[in-house]
């Protein structure tokens, strides 16, 4: 079950929207203003956030900006749900990095479909990020291996250097180099 | 030489271009020269032994005699006729202007006066012509001066007129620019207001729509309580929207003076209970309203709806702008003339810079812009109270809270 954080200051709309989402089998956490919303996002790290814009304490734009500062929250899909319906408002929201913008009053299908598509996309992006992380970790591991080798070489090279000018070299003193 | 040769003297006497006339003390002419003969048209013989009056126009005889007597007494050489015009009388009867110098002489104990006479007809003519010319010139100058003065006056008038015109134009320009500024402000206000209204309507509409969606999902009998909840939500939100619409209509009515009040007696508790009941539904988590219990006996003769509107406005604002867990205090007092409602909160308060404008229509304080509202509630309340002889005032500190006080007459002045 996916977790949704719903940030909305209007009590009725918050309760109703949460109820609708729960009936669609989502687990919903709510917050009555931007400040509380940001705290809950950091504490619960939901799968997706639905957020109003005009709210006391901290507005929706502030929430989005706040989320982008934390590694845990900056990749969470973010949907604005706002009564600000002018083109410039939508533009601003999207420019700030929101994944979608739904205007009030909204239809249930519109909201659910936006959530599902954002979750699906987020899942792909997450896979990519995981893959990238695995690759990055492997790369780091390779570098570590290479460093180990380098260190080994430095150690094994020492006796060679220190034996410089000496007529004999003990048998078996540099076997690893040959193995490599 | 002159004494020796009388002929030489005679030649000199005759050669003088001025007329020379010598009279004795009885004004008898005793000698004249040719110039005098020519000047007066007489021959020497016609003049000798004649009274001097023969050469003076009759009109001047009397005055002349007086002057001669005076001159004889003083016996000083002088210019004759100083300050007045002298005239000679020609034999042919015409008179002509002269200039004369008088020289008293004493010969062998006898007194004589020698007059040197110059015919100044030509000079006089020239003088007169000059005078006439001067007069003409002066007249012309006067005329031109008058014309110039008139022109200056006209110019002055025109200038004044122009100044008035310029002033009028500047005023008109200022009026236009003010009107334009006002228009711009109104336009900005309208845009801001429309955006606010849009928000104010769309959020409750969303509430209604989501409740309607949910109603459709609860089809089982045991889900009646869910259905009831959403039906109530729809009903509440419709009332809420209706109230906002009424507020807008009140603004229009208040502006055009079309408000009519319905006065009547009512108990204060009735209004307060109604306001508290409605307010309780809006309370945030942990918010609490303290209200007075000692008002059972108080009543008002006023427009009940307006009193309710005013009080509920203040209480709703207190709820809206206060955080969770905050307390709102309602205090009501009544004296002989007025009833006082005091609503205090622990909310965000009004920034000092915004306090002056808080009753202005559509105005929202800077720290309230993120909270729902249209900026007309307090404006309507103030207008109604003023119409009813009441007053609204407040004290507020940002981040601490606000206290609004309403004062309204116990008995409406109908």
Alpha-carbon distance B412 to B302, whole Å? 5
Q: How far is CA B121 from the centre of its chain?
A: 67
Q: What confidence score (pLDDT) does residue A175 get?
A: 46
Dump pLDDT digits (tens) for B315-331: 999 999 998 899 999 99
More confident residue, A28 or A54: A28
Of B198, B230, B236, the CB nearest to A83: B198
Per-residue pLDDT band at B101 (split at 50, 70, 90): confident
Dump pLDDT digits (tens) for B115-131: 899 998 888 888 888 88
Q: What confidence score (pLDDT) does residue B83 get?
A: 58
Given a cut of 80, whether residue B72 has pLDDT beyond it is no
Q: Can you tell me which residue has the tokens 């987020």?
A: A122
Question: What ipTM was predicted for this assembly?
Answer: 0.72
Dump pLDDT digits (tens) for B218-257: 999 899 999 999 999 999 899 888 888 888 888 878 878 8
Given a cut of 70, whether residue A158 has pLDDT beyond it is no
- Parallel, antiparallel, or unpaired for β A3-7 and A27-31? parallel
Q: What confidence score (pLDDT) does residue B80 get?
A: 63
Per-residue pLDDT band at B102 (split at 50, 70, 90): confident
Of B206, B208, B371, the CB nearest to A56: B371
What is the pTM assigned to this prediction?
0.58
Given a cut of 90, whether residue B4 has pLDDT beyond it is no
Per-residue pLDDT band at B2 (split at 50, 70, 90): very low
- B-contacting residues of A 80-119, CB under 8 Å? 83-86, 103-108
Touching check for A122 and chain B: CB below 8 Å? no
Dump pLDDT digits (tens) for B200-209: 889 899 999 9
Q: Can you tell me which residue has the tokens 């007529």?
A: A167
Dump pLDDT digits (tens) for A70-89: 999 999 999 999 988 888 88
Q: Kindly list the residues from chain B whose CB atom is less than 8 angstroms away from the CB atom of residue A54.
A: 199, 370-372
Q: Nearest CA of chain B to the CA of A9: how many Å?
A: 9
Q: What confidence score (pLDDT) does residue B214 get?
A: 95
Q: What confidence score (pLDDT) does residue B289 get?
A: 94
Q: Nearest CA of chain A to the CA of B371: how many Å?
A: 5
Given a cut of 50, whether residue A179 has pLDDT beyond it is no
Of B199, B210, B284, the CB nearest to A13: B210
Q: Between chains, do B205 and A104 touch, taking CB under 8 Å as contact?
A: yes
Given a cut of 60, whether residue A160 has pLDDT beyond it is no
Alpha-carbon distance B348 to A17, whole Å? 28
DSSP-assigned letter for residue A100: E
Q: Nearest CA of chain B to the CA of A72: how many Å?
A: 27
Q: Nearest CA of chain B to the CA of A14: how many Å?
A: 9
Closest CA to B394 of B358, B370, B348: B358
Q: Between vectors from CA B79 to CA B78 and to CA B84, what angle results, nearest 5°?
A: 135
| Averaged pLDDT score across all residues of chain B | 88
Tell me if residue A24 falls in helix, strand or coil.
coil
Given a cut of 50, whether residue A109 has pLDDT beyond it is yes
Q: What confidence score (pLDDT) does residue B292 get?
A: 86
Of A9, A20, A84, the CB nearest to B210: A20
Given a cut of 70, whether residue B77 has pLDDT beyond it is no
Closest CA to B384 of B264, B279, B253: B253
Q: What confidence score (pLDDT) does residue B252 get?
A: 77
Per-residue pLDDT band at B333 (split at 50, 70, 90): very high
Q: Kindly list the residues from chain B whose CB atom is less than 8 angstroms away from the CB atom of residue A86.
A: 195
Q: Between chains, do A103 and B230 touch, taking CB under 8 Å as contact?
A: no
- Parallel, antiparallel, or unpaired for β B110-119 and B19-24? antiparallel
Contact between residue B81 and residue B99 where contact means Cβ atoms under 8 Å apart: yes
Q: Nearest CA of chain B to the CA of A15: how many Å?
A: 9
Q: What confidence score (pLDDT) does residue A157 get?
A: 61
Given a cut of 70, whether residue B259 has pLDDT beyond it is yes
Count other C-beta atoms under 10 Å from residue B156's C-beta.
Answer: 10
- B-contacting residues of A 124-163, CB under 8 Å? none
Lowest mean pLDDT among A25-29, A146-150, B65-69, B252-256: B65-69
Q: What separation in angstroms does the CA of B326 have from each of A58, B274, B286, B404?
A: 19, 21, 7, 16
Question: What kind and span of H or E run contains A101?
Answer: strand A100-103
Q: Which residues of B touch A (CB under 8 A)?
A: 195, 198-199, 201-211, 213-214, 217, 230, 233, 236-237, 284-285, 324, 348, 370-372
Rounded mean pLDDT, B49-69: 83
Tell me if residue A140 falls in helix, strand or coil.
helix
Tell me if residue A84 falls in helix, strand or coil.
coil
Tokens for A49? 């956030």
């Amino acid at each position: 079950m996916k977790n949704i954080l719903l940030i909305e200051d209007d009590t009725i709309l918050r309760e109703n929207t949460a109820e609708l989402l729960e009936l669609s089998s989502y687990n919903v956490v709510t917050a009555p203003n931007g400040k509380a919303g940001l705290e809950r996002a950091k504490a619960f790290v939901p799968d997706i956030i639905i957020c109003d814009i005009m709210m006391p304490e901290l507005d929706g734009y502030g929430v989005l900006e706040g989320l982008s500062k934390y590694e845990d929250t900056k990749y969470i899909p973010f949907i604005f749900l706002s009564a600000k319906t002018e083109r410039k408002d939508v533009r601003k929201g999207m420019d700030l990095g929101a994944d979608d913008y739904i205007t009030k009053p909204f239809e249930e299908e519109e909201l659910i479909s936006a959530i599902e598509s954002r979750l699906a996309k987020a899942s792909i992006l997450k896979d990519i990020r995981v893959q990238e992380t695995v690759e990055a970790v492997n790369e780091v591991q390779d570098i570590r291996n290479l460093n180990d080798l380098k260190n080994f070489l430095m150690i094994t090279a020492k006796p060679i250097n220190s034996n410089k000018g000496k007529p004999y070299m003990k048998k078996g003193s540099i076997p690893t180099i040959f193995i490599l | 030489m002159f004494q020796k040769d009388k002929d030489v003297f005679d030649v000199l006497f005759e050669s003088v271009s001025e007329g020379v006339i010598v009279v004795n003390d009885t004004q008898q002419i005793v000698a004249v020269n040719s110039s005098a003969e020519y000047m007066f048209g007489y021959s020497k013989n016609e003049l000798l032994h004649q009274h001097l009056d023969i050469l003076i126009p009759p009109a001047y005889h009397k005055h002349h005699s007086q002057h001669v007597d005076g001159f004889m007494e003083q016996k000083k050489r002088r210019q004759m006729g100083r300050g007045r015009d002298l005239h000679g009388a020609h034999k042919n009867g015409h008179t002509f202007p002269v200039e004369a110098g008088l020289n008293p002489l004493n010969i062998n104990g006898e007194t004589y006066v020698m007059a040197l006479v110059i015919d100044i007809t030509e000079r006089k003519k020239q003088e007169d012509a000059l005078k006439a010319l001067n007069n003409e010139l002066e007249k012309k100058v006067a005329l031109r001066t008058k014309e110039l003065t008139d022109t200056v006056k006209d110019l002055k008038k025109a200038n004044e007129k122009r100044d008035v015109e310029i002033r009028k134009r500047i005023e008109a320009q200022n009026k236009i620019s003010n009107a334009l500024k006002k228009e711009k402000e109104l336009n900005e206000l309208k845009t801001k207001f429309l955006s606010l209204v849009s928000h104010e309507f769309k959020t409750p509409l969303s509430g209604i729509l989501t409740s309607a969606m949910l109603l459709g999902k609860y089809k089982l009998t045991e889900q009646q309580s869910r259905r009831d909840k959403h039906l109530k939500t729809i009903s509440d939100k419709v009332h809420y929207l209706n109230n906002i619409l009424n507020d807008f209509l009140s603004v229009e009515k208040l502006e055009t003076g079309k408000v009519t009040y319905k006065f009547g007696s009512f108990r204060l508790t009735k209004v307060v209970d109604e306001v508290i009941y409605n307010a309780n539904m809006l309370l945030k988590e942990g918010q609490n309203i303290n209200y007075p219990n000692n008002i059972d006996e108080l009543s008002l003769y006023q427009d009940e709806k307006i009193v309710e509107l005013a009080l509920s406005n203040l209480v709703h604002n207190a709820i809206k702008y206060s955080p969770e867990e905050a307390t709102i205090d309602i205090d009501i007092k009544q004296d002989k003339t007025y009833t006082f409602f005091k609503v205090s909160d622990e909310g965000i308060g009004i920034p000092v810079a915004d306090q002056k404008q808080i009753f202005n229509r559509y105005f929202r304080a800077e720290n309230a812009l993120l909270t729902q509202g249209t900026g007309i509630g307090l404006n309507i309340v103030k207008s109604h109270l003023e119409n009813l002889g009441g007053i609204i005032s407040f004290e507020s500190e940002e981040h601490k809270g606000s206290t609004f006080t309403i004062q309204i007459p116990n008995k409406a002045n109908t």
